[in-house]
Amino acid sequence: MDFHAALDSDFARLVEVSSGSLDRPVPTCPGWTVADLDRHVAEVYLHKIACMRDGVEPKDWPPPQLATEEPLALLRRAHRELTEELAARADDEPSGNWYAPDPTVGFWRRRMAQETVIHRIDAELAAGTPSVDVPADLALDGIDEVLRIFLEYCAATWRDDFVDGLAAGGGRSVALAADGRRWLVAIGPDTLTVTEGDAAATAELTGSPDALLRWLWRRAGDETVTVTGDPTLVAELRGLLRTATQ
């Protein structure tokens, strides 16, 4: 899919709804205003530029001088510099990265598109404006990313943070289905695995790609999807996702 187009579209929407709303609190990011949200996104963009240019993640971030820039101006500058950097690089070029299986520019190309769509949803919620649906292809990709990279990889790499949730899962599975795809998350007792297929599950969530993506990132509640089976296992999955995406 065209991650550049997705990034640009959601960035433009983020700027649109942020304008005039900088002092509003962001309900999905407790303690933040929209100004804080915009500054965060800008700092993330600039961090990824450093990862790509230097080949390693910067040790001290963010640089203190970024705090002197007005949030929207900083966001616009960071987006411009990020898109220029991405356009100049191939997906298979190496880049500093916390995700060991794919330390490449291509990882960040995808990640920045997904980062931006979630945070423009945050800005829409803060502004109280109707939220634009996430296109199905971007949402399906985002579902796959959060399940396989944030949840499965993080649970294996930083296992101590997930021990209690994995034990509570007891090896049972939660299925998530949208638009012809169906993921199975097998939780515990010692590991967490994500596969796709038609195998039986103890609980299942179904909904549109947009709804499931928002649910996974805690930008929407259970009422936005259809939940069948054991609700306690769904709650355990929700708790594991909170740890993985905090």
Task: Provide the pLDDT for residue 156.
Answer: 97
Q: What is the pLDDT of residues 5-19, one digit of tens each?
A: 999 999 999 999 999
Cβ–Cβ under 8 Å, residues 107 and 51: no
Span 96-114, mean pLDDT?
98
Question: So where are the chain's domains?
Answer: 3-127, 139-245
Distance from chain centroid for Cα 198: 25
- DSSP string for 16-29: HHHTT-TTSB-TTS
Token pair in block for residue 83: 């898109």
Collect contacts of 63-66 with beta carbons under 8 A, ≥24 apart: 66/39, 66/42
Q: How does pLDDT run across 121-161, given as a tens digit for each residue? A: 999 999 999 999 999 999 999 999 999 999 999 999 999 99
Q: What is the pLDDT of residues 24-59, one digit of tens each?
A: 999 999 999 999 999 999 999 999 999 999 999 999
* pLDDT tier, 167 (very low <50, low <70, confident <90, very high otherwise): very high
Each residue of 228-244: pLDDT tens digit?
Answer: 999 999 999 999 999 99
Right CATH for 3-127 from 1.10.10, 1.20.120, 3.30.70, 1.10.3470: 1.20.120
Give residue 246's pLDDT.
84
CA separation for the pair 22, 30 (Å, rounded): 15
pLDDT in tens, 61-95: 999 999 999 999 999 999 999 999 999 999 999 99
Q: How high is the pLDDT of residue 15?
A: 98
pLDDT tens for 182-202 read 999 999 999 999 999 999 999
Angstrom distance (rounded) from CA 42 to CA 48: 10
Q: What is the CATH number of domain 139-245?
A: 3.30.1050.10
Amino acid at 96: G
Q: Tell how far CA 206 is from the center of its chain.
A: 19
